[in-house]
Amino acid sequence: MSELRQIAAVCVVGIGTLRDRYVPALVIVIGMACVVGVLTSMLSVTAGLTRAYLRAEDAARAIVWAEGADFDQSRSLKPDVIGTILDAPGIAREADGVPLADPEFMMWLPPVEGFAAGSLQLRGIGPAGLALRPAFRIVAGHMFGAGMRELAVGVGAARKFGLHVGSEVRLRDGKWPIVGVFSCGADIIESYLVGDALTVMAARRSPGFAQVIVQLVDTQAYPGFQKWLMENPAIDVSVERKTDYDLRVVGADTSFFTRMAYIIGVMMALGSLFGVVKIMYGAVRARTREIGTLRAIGFGSTPLALSVLLEAALLGAVGAVVGAAIAWLIFDGRQMWVWGAFKLRVSPHLWVLGLAWAIITSLLGGLFPALRAGRLPPSEALRAE
């Protein structure tokens, strides 16, 4: 019998006896389910935030801000430099020739009862801001008017702060009504209020934008666009691809949490690894006579060792699927707030990561028991009780 057929046959025999050893097998499955469940649940925060910030259309977008002021609340980009920025080559244009670029800014509103200062934010956007966000839809009321003291609230902020059409928020020059509620394909902007940038800026009594979001004609246009702006002596700005900028923002928000998820994942995997070693040693002990018989009828030590490894990997994989499924059922799509509303996401990438995590842990755990199974002398194994 070829080695491959021996491996297949021994695996079938081993898996067939799992029914008799279902309790220890269940221990591995539950252990791995816990490891993968915790890991994927924690990483679903990062995956959710990344999806809230990163949009497919961002690949051909750039973001421009005043040198040294790369934060949304800055007001360092003075209105007089905007025209120069819009003259840069490579900017896509609307049918009427208007550049597809929007100078925007963010501002914090006074604390809402029960929420930290800075929780409720207002984004000032211009006409191109809507063109840059094709998923933007008014779901209640109507859109704020240009030049009007009106605001629209994103569905995330509306839910979090209990705001609705007819609510009012305080700005520096008095109360502004909310005239509409919008959604934007789960974009992070759903966590904010939006208003006409120039009108809000006048009310804020502090001219200046934080950044200009630019739609480029294509992804290849970026180097020329960046070079033109960086080498222009009339302005002092920084430029970055929007995807890079967003990844940096998400990374800043989640870097510690992501690292912590992996550290906890490693710790739990280590605990689970010891458990797998113990259980698989027990499995080899329970199958000693069976192993002896197989060796006596001509099976090699490699197929026997591999069958133990494969059994461990199979149990780990089942545990990973169970853990990821539980995490998906509980957390996927659940609304969360980390300075902005987003939905937790147990992505396919996390399923694969969890599966790999569990299989590697199980294989490591099964290694020594597998070696023991392969090295069992048939005569001794056959005498086992």
Partner 1 sequence: MPVVWSALWRNRAESVLTLLALSVAFALFSVMIAINAAYEQAIYDTRIDRLIVTCAFDCGTIPLGYREQLARLGGVSAVGGELWVGGGKDPDEHHLTTVTFMDEGMRSAWPELPMTRADWRALDISPTGIFLTRTAAARRNARIGDTMTMNAGPGSGTDGSGTWFFTVLGFIADPTGWGQQWSPNMIVGNLRYFQNSGNPDERDLVNFLRVAVDRPEHARAVCREIEAWFTNATPALSCVPARENVEELMDANINMRQISLGIGAAGLFMILFLCANGTAESVRERLSEFGILQAIGFGNGRIAWLVILEAAAPTILAALIGSAVAPGVGMFLSHLAIKGVINIPAVRASPVALGWALAAALLIALLSAVAPLYRLLRTDVAAMIARR
The amino acid at residue 287 is: R
Residue 5 vs 375, nearer CB to partner 1: 375
Cβ contact 256:48 at 8 Å: no
- What would you report as the CA-atom Rg of the chain, rounded to the nearest whole angstrom? 29
Minimal distance, residue 162 CB to partner 1, in Å: 15
Residue type, 97: G
Structure tokens at 156: 């995330």
Nearest to partner 1 of 73, 379 (CB atom): 73
Rounded to a whole number of angstroms, the minimum distance from the CB of residue 202 to partner 1 is 13
Smallest distance, partner 1 to C-beta of residue 47, A: 14
Residue 18: left (phi > 0), alpha (psi -120 to 50), or beta?
A: alpha
Helix (H) or strand (E) holding 259: helix 242-286
Contact, 163 vs 154, CB < 8 A?
no
- 3-state SS class at 115: coil
Task: Provide the token pair at 291.
Answer: 């192993």
Enumerate binding residues for partner 1 (CB under 8 A).
23-24, 26-27, 30-31, 34-35, 37-38, 41-42, 45, 68, 73, 107-111, 114-119, 170-172, 204, 206, 252-253, 255-257, 259-260, 263-264, 267-268, 270-275, 277-279, 281-282, 337-339
With CA atoms as reference, report the closest residue to 160 among 190, 183, 182: 190
CB of 211 to partner 1, least distance (A): 16
Q: Which of 289, 291, 313, 314 is nearest to 363 (CA)?
A: 313
The token duo for 116 is 């930290």
Minimum separation from the CB atom of position 271 to partner 1 (A): 4
User: Least distance to partner 1 from the beta carbon of 87, Å?
Assistant: 26
